Each structure stands twice: as structure tokens, then as C-alpha cells.
Amino acid sequence: MKIPSPLTCLSLLLLAASAAAAFPQSAAPAQPPTLPHPSQTMVVVGSAVPTPLAESPLSVLVLPVEAKSLTLATPLDLLREDSSISLEQRGAGGAQSDLVMRGGTFEQTLVLLNGFRINDSQSAHHNLDLPIPLEAMDSIQILHGAGSTLYGADALSGVADFVTAAPSASSLRLRSGGGSFNGVEASLEAALARKTNAVRLTASHNSSDGFIADRDYRNQDASLEDWIPSRLGMADILVAVSDRSFGANQFYGPYDSWERTKGWFASVRQELGPKAVAAFGYRRHTDEFILERNGPFHYENNHMDGSWQASLRQTVSVAKASLVLLGLESDGDSIQSFNVTEGADSLALGIHARNRGAGYVDLDLRPVHSRWNLTAGMREELFSGGPESAFAPHLAGSLRLPHDVKLRANGGYGFRLPTYTDLYYSDPTTIGNAKLKAESAWTGDAGVDWAPSSRFSATLTGFYSRQHDAIDYVRTNSAVPWMAANLSGLRFLGVESSLTWLPVKGQKVRVAWTALSGAQDALHGLQSEYVFNYPVQNVHASWTAAVGRAVTLTNSVQIVQRYQKSVYPVWNALATHEGGRFHPYLRLDNLANTGYQEIVGVAMPGRTIYGGVSLTIGR
């Protein structure tokens, strides 16, 4: 498919806006962007109980998904609004992406689904292999900094929780679209809301022939979630499946590789009265990898890993507005891994299993009629094999001043166990290390939030991280394989900021900027595969405008400079029509046709255009 020029793309965008504005005047008027007051936005990530954002002492960002579903190709696109997040994508469509926060590696961010762990024990490259479609999500909540006290392993540099919510009304929504490189996208969402219970069924598909050879992809997801009340309290039951296959040209080295991952996830969360919750989840994930897709002989890996998790939480009131959270958790993971080399079967990662158990306590002090709060907690986690235990404390507090100013500070400890790939994987380009130690980090931040009106808000945060035994892959020169190793002496110092402004009715401007400085004195002349891939400057700016009765136009620009790399900008634009039952949309990505790489050696797509329509039946 021929890619249109920037002028053609802009003409199409204006044409879509004009056509959408000409829809019948009976269409519902567009809702202009508004800034909800921090007291109206509830935070669940990093908190013992849902807490108003205005009272949270943490550096937290809440990104609503439902209102932006037409503007997103995948839920990962929304994460780019957080300038402290660096997405390292290996292609379009969300086929495989890594999430990096505050300079940490992609393995140091914990990914949750409704509080359940999604991080993959085989390889952290699959941490964002989300089992549910975009249409099933309500919001993404992001915690900056260590979160191991409440969530355990992997939460060194941050936590991203993909949150669902029960539908408030019965409806049916269908979406279909297509675009560049024979791209196809389709989705279904059916919601039933009754007084006794609520159910949501979602399914999605996106595929493309790829913008270059061996970069095709096909992604399919489906989920069913049921909210059932009882005398004990609300039960939330979720079942989800996913199937992703993609050409992996240059992903892991100079090979035309191919990969397919499949997974399913099931969870149940049961309230036990107003102050206790029991939860259980299970995730199974398979990964089939062929090193040379078109070679005469293939090197094939087949990995099957499973993980389970169970938890019990109890809150105890200690004053009118203060409480103590008590928690017990247990989880385990296992893997069965084989490879085929020129027809001979053998063990790849092998057959392994490990378990963990933890107990934690979190004190949340919120004195009545006081402008301050304080949160302190600690966790002790025990391991079967490897290090005997890990102790993870944290302390955070905030002070609300006049004129809607909030000061906050937070410090904590995070840790991570090596994945099975880190420990045991071996191929012509990479060699694992079974003697790797668990990595850890102390992090801290302090900042100020200011929200003087419904038209303006701003945040400014300084942060620091010091890592110990960080896991990376190193080598002496490009002629030898990468070797897994522990590194010490990694430190990061940075500042993150954001500004949101409504200059006039129906318009919203948002700018986020993060600057990062790292001190990497642990390599001693060795080459690093991951430690030096962080952005030293990351800016995301967007402008949203409501046009006419139901049309919304959005322009966004991301400017990134990675460590010792050139600056590159990526410009995206889109138009949507929100009135009535039919909702057409036009999405233009990388309008300037920037050539760039988020992973060294893996080219990203140039200019692409997608369009389609969504049909909504019901409220």
C-alpha cells in the first residue's frame, strides 16, 4: 500500500473533520475536555485502599482508557503520555514491547492486571503480553518508583496497573478499520448491566503484512468478566485468552526470526465483608521462537510457563480516617522448555519451578481535619531457592498547602529475581548465567502538585535511584555472544514534570517532560545490551480540540533523545466523531516519516494511516 504524503494526510484529516461536522444535528454534542479535580480521581495502585489523588503521597498518574478507545491502536499507546515511561517497541500493533521507567531496564517495571501480576517468568520481553483487549480496560494507573512493599518482586522502578471496571449500562459496540501495509483492526464489546450483576465480553483482532519483510503480525485477544454480588460482598471473575504471531526480523540479532506467543489468564477476587479481600489468579503462557524463519535449517525454542498467585488482605481501622493493611501472599512459577536444532530435540531452558511467600503491613495515617498524611510499610518475602528472603520497606507522606498546592515525598526498596531466560537461555548470540544474584534498588522522590482551577494543573518531581547487582547482558566486543551478569554502581538522577491547561472551552494542551542522568561506572570497558538504552530527554506534548458538535481533533508530538543517540521526533494526529451511534475515526501515525529505533538495530514503521468506524448500540 502506498503511503500518502504529509500534505495528503493533513488533507484527509481536515476532510474527516468536515465530514464528521456535517453529520445530522441530532447527534449528541461533543463533551469538551475537562480536568477532574484530584479529589475526584481515585488511585488504587500503591495504596492500601482506593485513595483520592489529592491525598496520595506518591508520584502517580491515572490515564483513563475508555474515553480514548477510538484514538488508540493498542493500550500501550496511552502510556506514551507519561514522559517517565519509555516504550521500547519492536514494531507496530503491540506485537512485542518493553516498558522502561526512570532509567531502569525493562525487567524492573511490574505489570499488573487489576492488581494481579502479569510479569513473565520466562522472559520480561513478554511482560506487556496483556491478556485482555483494549476495550476491556477502564484506566491505566502508573506508580513511579519502587513498589515492592505492596507488590513484591519486579517493582524496582515502577508499577503499571491495567484496571477494569464494571459497566454502568448495557451496550454493544463494534469497531472495524484498516490502513497501511494491509492493516486490519476489529473489536467487539458487549456489556450487560443489571441490578444483580454485570458482565462484559470483549474481543479484538489486528494484523498487518508489515512495513518491511518479516515484520508481519497478527494479534487476537478475548476476555469475559463477571461481577457478582453476594452476602459476602462483590466477586469479580475474569477469564482471558491471547494469541500473537509476528515476524521478528532483527529483534534478537541478525536473523529473519519468527515468534508466536499464546496465553490464557483467569482470576477471581472475592470481598469477605467490607474490609477483607481474597484473590487467586493463574496465568499460562507459551512462546514458540524460530531463529531463522526462511533458513534451510531452523533453530526453534518452545517454552511453556505457568504462574499462580493467591492473596488475602485485611484492613483494620485505627482511627476515624486511618487504617492498617495486613496482607499475606503466596505465588509460584514453573517452566518447561525445549529446543529443536536441525531436527534434534533437547532441553533449552529446561524444567524448573520456584515458589515465594510474603507477609506485609502498611500503616496509612490520615488524621481528621488535617492537611497531612503519612504512609509507612514493610514486607518480608521468602524464596524457595536462591536468596533466602528480601525485606522491602517504604515511607511516604504529603502535605496540602493553601491554594491547592500539595507537597509529597516517597522512598522505598525494590527487588527482582532473574527470569529463566536470564538464568538458563543459550543461543548463538546470548548466554545465560545460572549464578545470577537477585537485583535490588533504593529509590526516592520528592515533588509538588498544583491544581488551582479546573483549567490548569502542574506537577514537578525530582527522583533518585541506586541499583545493586543489576542484571544486564555484556560482552567485550561484537564478535562474541552477550553474557548475563550482575552489575553494581548504577545510579540515576532525574526530574519529571507535566502541565495540563484548558486555554478555551473545548481545547486541552498537555506537556510532559522527563530528564534523566545516569552514572554507569560498573562496566569497566564492557559493552552493555540494555543499561544504556534509556532516554536522557523525553517530551510528550498534545493538543486536543473539540470542533463543531461532535468532532475531536488531536495532535501529539513525542521528542526523544536516548543515551548517546540522536534526537528524534514522532508526530501523530487523529480525528474522531463521538456523536450518535456511528463513530468514524482517522488515525495518522509518524506524519513526518521519522526514521528511528527504540531498540538498537530494530527499525520502527514510517508514516502510516488507519481509519474506520465504531457502532454503538445502547447507552
Q: Does the residue 318 lie in any domain? A: yes
Break the chain down into helix, strand, coil percent, rounded to 5. Answer: 10, 55, 35
- pLDDT for res 92: 76
Lowest model confidence (mean pLDDT) among 297-306, 391-400, 485-494: 297-306
User: Which pLDDT does position 26 carry in this prediction?
Assistant: 37
- Is the pTM higher than 0.85? yes
Q: State the burial class of residue 505 (Cβ atoms within 10 Å of its Cβ: 0-12, 13-18, 19+).
A: exposed
Which element (helix H / strand E) includes 12? helix 6-21
Grid cell, residue 447, equals 515533588
Q: What is the CATH number of the domain that holds 293?
A: 2.40.170.20
- Which residue's entry shows cell 548466554? 431
Cell of 39: 479529589
For residue 234, the enclosing domain spans 6-618
Asked, for residue 83, whether it belongs to a domain, the answer is: yes
Per-residue model confidence (pLDDT) at position 211: 93
98 Cα distance to chain centroid: 9
* Chain segment 342-383, per-residue pLDDT in tens: 655 566 778 999 999 999 999 999 887 788 999 999 999 999
Any domain includes 44: yes
Per residue in 64-94, pLDDT (tens digit) is 997 787 888 888 889 999 999 999 888 778 7
- 460 vs 549, higher pLDDT: 460
Cα 509 from Cα 354, distance rounded (Å): 48
Domain count across the chain = 1
The DSSP code for 426 is B
First vs last Cα of the chain: how many Å apart?
A: 37
CA–CA separation, 365 and 372 (whole Å): 9
Length of the chain: 619
Cell of 99: 516498558
pLDDT of residue 32: 45
List phi, psi (to 5°) of 467: -100, 150
pLDDT on residue 343:
56
- Residue that wins the pLDDT comparison between 296 and 129: 129
Contacts with 440 (C-beta within 8 Å, 6 or more apart), sequence order:
156, 390, 413, 414, 415, 416, 467, 468, 469
Alpha-carbon span 429 to 253, nearest angstrom: 7
d(CA 452, CA 39): 13
Provide DSSP, 259-328: EEEEEEEEEEEEE-SSSEEEEEEEEEEEEEEES-TTSSS-EEEEEEEEEEEEEEEEEEESSSS-EEEEEE
Residue 7 has pLDDT above 70, yes or no: no
The C-alpha atoms of residue 146 and residue 154 are separated, in whole angstroms, by 9
Q: Find where cell 456489556 sits.
A: 191
**Averaging pLDDT over each range in 45-54, 386-395, 589-598, which range is the top one?**
589-598
The helix/strand/coil state of 336 is strand
Q: Grid coordinates representing 224?
A: 469475559
Q: Which three cell numbers stand for residue 435?
A: 549464578
Residue 434 in any domain: the answer is yes
Alpha carbon of 267 to those of 118, 134, 212, 399, 419: distances in Å?
12, 18, 38, 37, 23
Q: From CA 276, how far away is CA 267, in angstroms rounded?
A: 17
Position 471 scores a pLDDT of: 92
Tens digit of pLDDT for each residue in 559-570?
A: 999 988 899 999
Is 1 inside a domain boundary?
no
Instruction: Please report the pLDDT score of residue 307 as a whole number.
Output: 96
Looking at per-residue pLDDT, the higher value among 551 and 489 belongs to 551
Looking at residue 10, what is its pLDDT?
Answer: 41
pLDDT at res. 24: 38
Tell me, yes or no, whether 131 lies in a domain. Answer: yes
Say how many CA atoms lie within 13 Å of 252 toward its Cβ: 23
Mean pLDDT rounded to a whole number for the chain: 88
Instruction: Examine residue 353 and state whether it is found in any structural domain, yes or no.
Output: yes
Would you state the cell numbers that stand for residue 582, as one nine-digit string? 456511528
- Mean pLDDT lowest among 14-18, 263-267, 409-413, 604-608: 14-18
Closest CA to 106 of 387, 390, 416, 386: 416
In a domain, 370, yes or no: yes
Q: Per-residue pLDDT for 137 more than 80? A: yes
CA 167-165-199 angle, 5° bins:
45
Alpha carbon distance 79, 63 (integer Å): 8
d(CA 48, CA 315): 8
Residue 310 predicted with pLDDT over 90 = yes
pLDDT tens digits, 501-533: 999 988 999 999 999 998 666 667 788 888 888
pLDDT, tens digit, 9 for 90 and up, residues 284-305: 999 999 988 887 767 888 999 9
* Of 343, 397, 347, residue with least CA distance to 371: 397
What is the predicted pLDDT for the residue at 386?
Answer: 64
Find cell 492498617 and name the residue: 324
Mean pLDDT across 311-332: 92
pLDDT at 14: 40
Residues 6+ apart with CB under 8 A from 344: none
User: How far, in Å, CA of 361 to CA of 376, rounded?
Assistant: 8
DSSP letter at 604?
P
No. of H helices and E strands in the chain?
Answer: 4, 37
